[in-house]
Structure 1
């Protein structure tokens, strides 16, 4: 009899040794989550893989994300923010790095899906994705559709031909010139503003050519179809550093604004958890080290602000 009781007690406790990243609650799994390792191509891999989860933040997540992980969308044609690794399929860049860091701090796995830019906000609204990290400017107009947790601050820039044969030093010099942009992005909004300014001053407006992805828009200066490409300055500087492109980058003064992690406004638990995770990474110094790994420490913010864009 004593042997039988001992065996029953042993069987009852076989699962007692497992440690869960999420507190036990009614019906939730207590099995530990095996977190993803950042790929070797991620310049911040060493920092990311050393991040430890915060159980208090994990507890704030919706049950579905605790169980299934975080679904992130990014448009992987925007170096150094969003791009493909050497294998042609792994997401790397600052946005994937910070996405991985946030997921690890929350104690959940992360799936990153490459999506065409114009489909990303609809994907957040319909619930296909949980978060969007795609160098997206936090604007008042976009706040009517999604809620942002701001994670960097950056400004716009222009790519022009090397040696500046067209004499472009500022937006006012774009009048009468062909300018390439990503369709439906902040660069298109800027191009439309400069076009209106030219016409208001009695000059010829811009010939704006739009593309679904940034790489196609960037190529237009190199192939001679456009005299300038309006994009984010970090992207312009990265592209100009490649000597094969034969372009140079110009910063557009006064365009600095926050970029945000976009989420569905109704997902308040997730929004709060992501804000908490980003703040924790900022305070620990891990956020700063990730930016430094990508040579983008000038984009740093001091705290995670919700809907800080105007």
Structure 2
């Protein structure tokens, strides 16, 4: 029923130590000085007018239940305690929820299970770097709040001579259920149609596993959302490098049930409110992803 494709979907001294560092990064390991996310928690003041527009069924308990895939640093990942979900997506949505007089509670989920969870009522919202696309809009309402593209990464030095326009015969890592999987599948088909070897596509449930596979040499390269790829490279301490430019930028969106248009509308107003009061820019700058800032939120924008 659900097509979950869409953008989404980061070492140590010796090789074995490097893989451990990647695992720690996915769980919130920090760099030496002013790492992304360092500093005071960004908060927003409640807006009583907006809070009054939240449907009774959602505001009754004062909590909004959020489904998220916590393997996608720096957007959403587990902190050092192994259970608290942090990241720029989390900090920004916390501020949006606060505008509505709500507290966000996050539940980690496989990425491709979140939208079905929203539809079933398990989650009241999906916040997990979902790119807004036509296929998703068939099943959920989406409220835009950020913009990201796709970018590739490989081991430092690019010994495999990865060319994103000609990756035929290479082994490429992607996270399951992402637009990057569609992207690399189409590239592989182009290879075989042209008489070249197919791309070997390895899918990983967690983005951190895809990244580790590239660092270890199991895969030649990976492609992921641009802020995620950049963060992975930064956290690799010189072990990884970006390849090529960012392409196909598109908005991320919060996902709510298709029949909850009124809630989606007030979410859009709340995003616009945190943009207007500066909370939005503060949160994105704190995480070093302000290049993806938008100036206006939209409900179900054409893409």
Structure (1 or 2) with the greater strand fraction: 2
In 2: Cα distance, 1:244 partner to 1:295 partner? 17
Deviates more, 1:249-258 or 1:293-302: 249-258
Query: CA 1:66/1:300 → structure 2, altered by over 3 Å: closer, same or farther?
Result: same
Aligned to 1:117: 111
Q: Does 1:247 align with 2:240?
A: yes
CA RMSD between the two structures: 1.6
Do the aligned partners of residues 258 and 97 (structure 1) sit closer, same or farther apart at CA in structure 2, a change above 3 Å counting?
Answer: same
Distance 2:289 2:166 in 1: 28
Deviations 1:137-195 (A, max 9, x none): 111111111111011011111120110111113x2231110111111211101111211
1:243 Cα offset (Å): 3.7
Residue 199 of structure 1: how far off its partner (Å): 2.1
Tell me what 1:20 maps to: none
Residue 174 (structure 2) pairs with residue 167 (structure 1) = no
Task: Report the 3-state secondary structure (helix = DSSP H, G, I; strand = E; otherwise coil) of the residue aligned with 1:167.
Answer: coil
Q: Distance in 1 between the 2:235 and 2:102 partners? A: 36
In the alignment, what sits opposite 1:201? Answer: 194
In structure 2, the residue matched to 1:287 is: 280
**Following the alignment from structure 2 to structure 1, what is the Cα–Cα distance between the partners of residues 87 and 134?**
26
Query: Offset at 1:252?
Result: 4.1
Label 1:309 to 1:226 Cα distance change in 2 as closer, same or farther (>3 A).
farther
Q: Distance in 1 between matches of 2:257 and 2:201?
A: 31
CA contact (8 A) 2:265 2:299 kept: no
Give the number of the structure with larger relative contact order, counting CA–CA contacts within 8 Å between residues 6 or more apart: 2
Partner of residue 86, structure 2: 92
The aligned counterpart of 2:15 is: none
What do residues 103-130 of structure 1 show as CA deviations (whole Å, max 9, x unaligned)? Answer: 1100112211111111101001101111
Q: TM-score, normalised by structure 2?
A: 0.84
Change (3 A) 1:295 1:101: same
Q: What is the DSSP-based 3-state SS (H/G/I as helix, E as strand, rest coil) of the residue aligned with 1:173?
A: coil
Alignment partner of 1:73 is 2:67 = yes
* Residues 1:138 and 2:132 are matched in the alignment: yes
1:127 pairs with 101, 121, 124, which one?
121
- Distance in 1 (CA, whole Å) between partners of 2:140 and 2:39 is 28
Which has the higher mean CA deviation after the structures are superposed, 236-245 or 260-269?
Answer: 236-245
1:178-193 alignment to 2 at 5 Å?
Answer: 178-193=171-186
CA contact (8 A) 1:44 1:97 kept: no
Kept in 1: contact 2:168–2:198 (CA 8 A): yes
Indicate whether 1:260 and 2:266 are aligned. Answer: no
Hey, what does 1:56 align to over in structure 2?
49
User: Equivalent residue of 1:298, what SS?
Assistant: helix
Q: Distance in 1 between matches of 2:99 and 2:272?
A: 10
Residue 44 of structure 1 contacts residue 294 of structure 1 at CA under 8 Å; is this kept in 2?
no
Can you give the 5+ residue segments of structure 1 that lack an aligned partner in the other structure? 1-40
Deviations 1:34-82 (A, max 9, x none): xxxxxxx96464431xx21111111111112212221111111111111
**Gapped runs of 5+ residues in structure 2?**
1-35
Q: Which is higher, the Rg of structure 1 or of structure 2?
A: 1
C-alpha deviation, 1:196, in angstroms: 1.8
Q: CA deviation at 1:253?
A: 4.0
